[in-house]
Chains A and B, each alone.
Chain A
Amino acid sequence: MSALPAQSPCRHCGAAVEADAPKGAVYCCSGCELAAAIVDGAGLEAYYAGRSKPAPRPEGPARGLDQLHVETDAAGLCHATLRLDGLRCASCVWLTERVIEGRPGVKAVQVSYATGRTRLSFDGAVTDLTQILSPVAALGYRPQALSSAPVADRDLLIRLGVAIFAATNVMMLSVSVYLGWWQGMEERFATLFRWATLALATPATLWSATSFFRAAWVGVRHKSLSMDLPVSIGVALLYGHGLLATFAGQDGYLDSLTMLIALLLAGRVLEQRGRQGALAAAQALAATAPRVARRIEGDRIVDIDPKDLDVGDLIEVAAGEELSADAVVVSGTASVAMALLTGESEPVAVLPESAVVAGALVQEGALRCRVTAVGGETLLQRLARGLAEATDRHVEPGPIDRIAPLFTAGTLLAAAGTFVGWWLHGGLAAAIPPTVAVLVVACPCALALAQPLAVAAGLGASARRGLLFRSGDALRALAQIDTVALDKTGTATGGRPVVVLADDATLRIAAGIERGSIHPIARAIVEEASRRGLPIPMGRLLQEVPGVGITGEVDGTVYTIARGGPGTVEVRGVGTITLRDTLRQDAAATIADLRAAGARVVLLTGDHGDVARRVAWSAGIDHVVADQRPDDKARWIAAARAEGHRVLFVGDGLNDGPALRAADVGLAMGSGAPSTMMAADAVVAGEGLGPILSGLRAARAAERAIRGNLRRSVIYNILAVCAAAAGLINPLVAAVLMPLSSGLVIWGALGVERALSEKR
């Protein structure tokens, strides 16, 4: 008897073509056949030749496209921005763009590979989003509403543009005016230049700089004084003085003013870019939700929105699809990846009566399942909710914000002192110019730039090395860390234990009970049983206590599976199974570097002491805290913090939520559960622990830059105020000194990337 000739994989999605399909079939399903027809019909066969990864498998019609936000401009052209999920390689971008371009009425389309952000313009009278995007959806790509709007960024950029326009032109005018001091200038030209300067400085102050005024006002109302207040006072004073000086026919400080507004806004734009880039990347890592469910109604299968599913519904899930609800398998077998919950990308085998959870991805085979929980009641959503609560951390104000009130008070005191001193010395007329000069040069623009620029540089530097921060505050908190607590499974190790020793009878019973479990150990047991070709009995899981063990029933007998001795799992009364976990490749090197950087590294794990110690020994960790349940981890961290340590916790699974929240900084492995990522302060993108070290270095370099900047700008301000009080500052000196101090601060912030590059 000859074996069936192997069918070649599906031409479109690369999945295996069913063995019972007609000989010579090139597609695995009608969806792929349709998708290929679209590609071929549009003359885009080059896609199949050029791609580096197979296409996603089509999932039926796209839904909710009519609810996406569409803006119509004055010319009647419609614009929409959305996210396209399922882009796997550059060829996907090429293909989707060509397909969308080919639709009638489409004027322009641009797809970003990194984020999936897609911008569309089309003629609203000819077509709509549903018509445009249906073929893309039929190809297997999923159009989505974009979660964050880019409006704020654009507004800030335009404000910056106006400020730079004003600053550069004012500079040109001012140089002429200052040259006039020496070479002589007809008064009518000087007057013209002064008024032109005022005309340019007005939009820069009254429009571009309003965000500072607003932020200062919010700070005052909430009684938390930030650097925005002294900046606003400085800007208002500079502009007010310039206005009066222009009317009086004198030179003001408007050139310094416009320059400073432009520099401050540039700093803010850089900061926002860095933060948004990291956030978008983290969101892209975590973005996953099923788009369509197929409900079995009698002998028909109906596509419905997952929201419309009810408990008790019978659904069908095929390869390439995600489950949209928690369910129990009724018939069929499949290998399912539960990466969402366990961080494991390796699939696990499921059989009838196995429990499957929402978000799990079916990789091979097909299942019919009975829904057990929907929407917010699914395990995924419940855990995500738990993590989302109380993720807001209290962050200490930075050194810059702490000195803001002091700074304001000091400036006012210095101004008052100057005024009184000159008044007593030379009368009222002599007192006013130096007092104004004091207030003007004290404008803490360099101080206000010091922190955001260094933080932006730190965020960018660590993002380029694989650590994505969700906020600048987390970066600053990371700089203070002296203790690094690592979760073992999935963090220090790859999280894929393998069975090294077990007898068949024990393995059979354990596999029968744990067949539906998504725990890495359970999966290792089931995989080993399958590998040995053992028939896995239809067990039933009775109770699971995370971190302790489970009870279940096989062949009518109730067994308890619990942690046994080191590295073993014990089926009470039957036998034990020995497992081994494998360390991440760069773990030892990274941990050595972390310790060299002065951090105490602790392995915080739910595993038994001996196993944990063995892993710790090979990773070079000398401090092990074993036998920790999820709550114990959080308690241990809280205790360490109470002793004055600053703790970084790195974890990957949903059970690490409490510890992530308890730590000063919580880091999630990018391979872990998306909801864990949403609870963490930063996400490690990519493999390995290396990015943690880079992040720590970037954070410390940024903190050093902040402190250096702080020193430089305080020294500048003290010197400048003294000079102003002595009557040495005039508009020209200010125009040179003030941007110079800001330049020093920018140079300091650039040092962050420099410091990291040198270490590499």
Chain B
Amino acid sequence: MNAVFFLLPVALGLGALFAGLFLRAVRAGQFEDLDDPPERMLRD
């Protein structure tokens, strides 16, 4: 069970990594326009 002391920070670190990725995606404006990209795919 002592593995928990190691696994918990790993799990939280992974979570934080994804939160960070989300943050980057927001900053890059990926969530600003949710309507156009699906149409764009059909146009190209």
Secondary structure dominating the interface of A:
helix
Residue ID in chain A nearest B8 by CB atoms? A196
Question: Given the interface contacts A157-B26, A161-B23, A161-B26, does A196 sit within 8 Å of B12 by beta carbon?
Answer: yes
The 27 sampled A-B contact pairs (Cβ below 8 Å) are: A90-B39, A93-B40, A94-B44, A110-B33, A110-B36, A112-B35, A113-B39, A115-B33, A117-B33, A150-B32, A154-B26, A154-B27, A154-B32, A157-B31, A158-B22, A158-B23, A161-B19, A161-B23, A162-B19, A165-B15, A165-B19, A169-B12, A186-B1, A189-B1, A192-B5, A192-B8, A200-B12
Specify which chain B residues have a CB less than 8 angstroms from the CB of A416 in the assembled complex: none
Contact residues, B1-44 vs A (CB, 8 A): 1, 4-5, 8, 11-12, 15-16, 18-19, 22-23, 26-27, 29, 31-33, 35-36, 39-40, 43-44
A119 in the interface (beta carbon within 8 A): yes
Bound state CA distance, A157 and B8, in angstroms? 26
How far in angstroms is the closest Cβ of chain A from B43?
5
Specify which chain B residues have a CB less than 8 angstroms from the CB of A117 in the assembled complex: 32-33
Bound state CA distance, A192 and B6, in angstroms? 11
Residue ID in chain B nearest A193 by CB atoms? B8
Q: In the complex, given contacts A154-B31, A158-B26, what are 19 additional A-B residue pairs having Cβ atoms less than 8 angstroms apart?
A: A90-B43, A93-B43, A94-B43, A94-B44, A110-B33, A112-B35, A114-B36, A115-B33, A117-B32, A154-B27, A154-B29, A157-B31, A161-B26, A165-B18, A165-B22, A169-B12, A169-B15, A189-B4, A192-B4
Specify which chain B residues have a CB less than 8 angstroms from the CB of A335 in the assembled complex: none
Contact A169 B4 (CB under 8 A): no
Residue ID in chain A nearest B22 by CB atoms? A161
A331 in the interface (beta carbon within 8 A): no
Question: Given the interface contacts A161-B22, A165-B18, A169-B11, does A113 sit within 8 Å of B1 by beta carbon?
Answer: no
How far in angstroms is the closest Cβ of chain A from B5?
7
5 cross-chain pairs, A with B, having the tightest CB-CB distances, nearest first: A165-B19, A161-B22, A112-B36, A157-B26, A90-B43
How far in angstroms is the closest Cβ of chain A from B14?
10
Bound state CA distance, A192 and B5, in angstroms? 8
Bound state CA distance, A119 and B30, in angstroms? 11
Residue ID in chain B nearest A203 by CB atoms? B19
Contact residues, A92-146 vs B (CB, 8 A): 93-94, 110, 112-115, 117, 119
Partner-B contacts on A (CB < 8 A):
90, 93-94, 110, 112-115, 117, 119, 150, 153-154, 157-158, 161-162, 165, 168-169, 172-173, 186, 189, 192-193, 196, 200
Specify which chain A residues have a CB less than 8 angstroms from the CB of B29 in the assembled complex: 119, 150, 154
Residue ID in chain A nearest B31 by CB atoms? A157
Partner of A114, one of B27, B35, B43: B35
How far in angstroms is the closest Cβ of chain A from B13?
11
How far in angstroms is the closest Cβ of chain A from B3?
11
How far in angstroms is the closest Cβ of chain A from B39?
7
Specify which chain A residues have a CB less than 8 angstroms from the CB of B39 in the assembled complex: 90, 113
Residue ID in chain B nearest A153 by CB atoms? B32
Bound state CA distance, A173 and B29, in angstroms? 32
Bound state CA distance, A162 and B27, in angstroms? 14
Bound state CA distance, A169 and B11, in angstroms? 9
Residue ID in chain B nearest A185 by CB atoms? B1
Bound state CA distance, A168 and B14, in angstroms? 13
Bound state CA distance, A365 and B2, in angstroms? 85
Specify which chain B residues have a CB less than 8 angstroms from the CB of A113 in the assembled complex: 36, 39
Specify which chain A residues have a CB less than 8 angstroms from the CB of B31 in the assembled complex: 154, 157
Bound state CA distance, A165 and B12, in angstroms? 9
Bound state CA distance, A196 and B1, in angstroms? 17
Bound state CA distance, A94 and B40, in angstroms? 9
How far in angstroms is the closest Cβ of chain B from A698?
19
Specify which chain B residues have a CB less than 8 angstroms from the CB of A189 in the assembled complex: 1, 4
How far in angstroms is the closest Cβ of chain B from A121?
10
Bound state CA distance, A186 and B5, in angstroms? 13
Specify which chain B residues have a CB less than 8 angstroms from the CB of A114 in the assembled complex: 35-36
Specify which chain A residues have a CB less than 8 angstroms from the CB of B1 in the assembled complex: 186, 189
Contact B15 A168 (CB under 8 A): yes
Specify which chain B residues have a CB less than 8 angstroms from the CB of A94 in the assembled complex: 43-44
Residue ID in chain A nearest B12 by CB atoms? A169
Bound state CA distance, A115 and B35, in angstroms? 10
Bound state CA distance, A192 and B9, in angstroms? 11
Specify which chain B residues have a CB less than 8 angstroms from the CB of A157 in the assembled complex: 26, 31
Bound state CA distance, A189 and B2, in angstroms? 9
Question: Given the interface contacts A114-B35, A153-B32, A154-B26, does A165 sit within 8 Å of B16 by beta carbon?
Answer: yes
Specify which chain A residues have a CB less than 8 angstroms from the CB of B19 in the assembled complex: 161-162, 165
How far in angstroms is the closest Cβ of chain B from A78?
15
Bound state CA distance, A260 and B14, in angstroms? 23
Bound state CA distance, A162 and B31, in angstroms? 15
